Each structure stands twice: as C-alpha cells, then as structure tokens.
C-alpha cells in the first residue's frame, strides 16, 4: 500500500509539473450518451458556452455555441458590461444554441461577458475586447483566433516529468531493499 501511495504521489507531482491533467472518471451526474446533459436538469453544472475566440477588437465577429437547453427553447444572448442583446436563437432538437455577433465600438477594451438566458437557466462565458491595431497606431495584423506561442518547450517539461517518475521508482526500490536488509540483520 505504501508503494502505491508513493507511486500515486510521484504521478501527481509529475502531472502537476508537466501541466498534464490526470483524469480517472467523467462527471458524476452525466448520463451515458447524453453529452453531459442530464434529463430534467437544464442547464447542468458542467455545461459551457464555446466561443470562437476569447480576444477580439472592434469589427471582429465572435461565434458561440452552447448545449443543454430544452429543444425549441428561445434563448436571449446578451453582452454585459454594457448590456446589449446580440441575438435570440432557438435551441435545436438536441438542445444546442449557436449564433454570432460583431464587437461594436460601444464595447470598451476590457473583459466582457456573453450571457445566454432562457426560462430553464443561464449560461455565460467571458471574452476580452482589445484595442484595435489602427487605434493603437500600429500596422494591422490578422487574427485567426489562435493562441500565441509563449515559448514553452513541451519536450523539456515531459523530460522533467519522466526524470521525476524514474526518481520515484528508484526511491521505491531503495525503500524495499532497505526493508529487506533490516529484516535480515
């Protein structure tokens, strides 16, 4: 049992250092084949709003999609900081809502929230409005919605995790040898 605890701690430590999530089970309340939606509970706690981009400047379009609404339900999409209705989509047969809106000049730079509200519940996601390249006095750039490379080297991080796993294994072997040596003496 002790060896298992050491091994579990080593895996947990290496996962934390490498930024890898170690998951053993899905959501407790998700019914098989339901995509995370549970009958009679709309929207469930693990439902989220997916957005095409998390950062946008004036004139860019942001698409969104959310699930777990009741089929045929009317949903009001509102952007907050300055409340503005940006759409009223209807949930499809699977309870999925999708739409898009354009970031207008009345949304000042900073964090804003898209809220999807219906009779059965509300879901939301945040996004950041950044100053446009023209307003900042720089040349225009294209934004394909992808994240910038931050300089992280996954190979080095994975190597460090592997070294930690080897070190944990060596500690387990050393502990067993010490236990057998003490028992023989």
Sheet holding 55-56, edge to edge: 55-56, 121-129, 110-118, 76-80, 84-87
What percent of the chain is modeled with pLDDT above 70?
Answer: 64
Give the number of other Cβ atoms within 10 Å of residue 100's Cβ.
Answer: 15
- The CATH superfamily of 42-135 is Macroglobulin (MG2) domain (2.60.40.1930)
Per residue in 118-162, pLDDT (tens digit) is 988 899 999 999 987 644 444 444 555 555 666 667 778 888 888
CB half-sphere exposure, 67, CA atoms < 13 A: 11
Per residue in 166-183, pLDDT (tens digit) is 999 999 999 988 888 888
Structural domain spans, the chain: 42-135, 158-185
Question: At which residue do the structure tokens 């995790």 appear?
Answer: 161
């Amino acid at each position: 049992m002790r060896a298992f605890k050491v091994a579990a701690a080593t895996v947990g430590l290496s996962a934390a250092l490498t930024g890898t999530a170690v998951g053993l089970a899905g959501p407790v309340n998700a019914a098989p084949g339901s995509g995370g939606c549970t009958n009679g509970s709309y929207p469930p706690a693990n439902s989220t709003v997916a957005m095409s981009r998390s950062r946008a400047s004036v004139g860019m379009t942001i698409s969104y999609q959310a699930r777990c609404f009741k089929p045929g339900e009317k949903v009001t999409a509102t952007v907050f900081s300055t409340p503005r209705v940006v759409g009223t989509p209807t949930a499809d047969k699977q309870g999925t809502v999708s739409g898009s809106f354009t970031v207008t000049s009345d949304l000042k730079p900073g964090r804003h929230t898209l809220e999807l509200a219906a009779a059965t519940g509300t879901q939301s996601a945040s996004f950041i409005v950044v100053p446009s390249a023209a307003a900042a006095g720089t040349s225009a750039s294209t934004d394909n919605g992808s994240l910038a490379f931050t300089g992280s080297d996954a190979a080095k991080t994975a190597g460090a995790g592997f070294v930690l796993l080897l070190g944990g294994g060596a500690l387990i072997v050393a502990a067993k040898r010490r236990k057998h040596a003490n028992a023989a003496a």
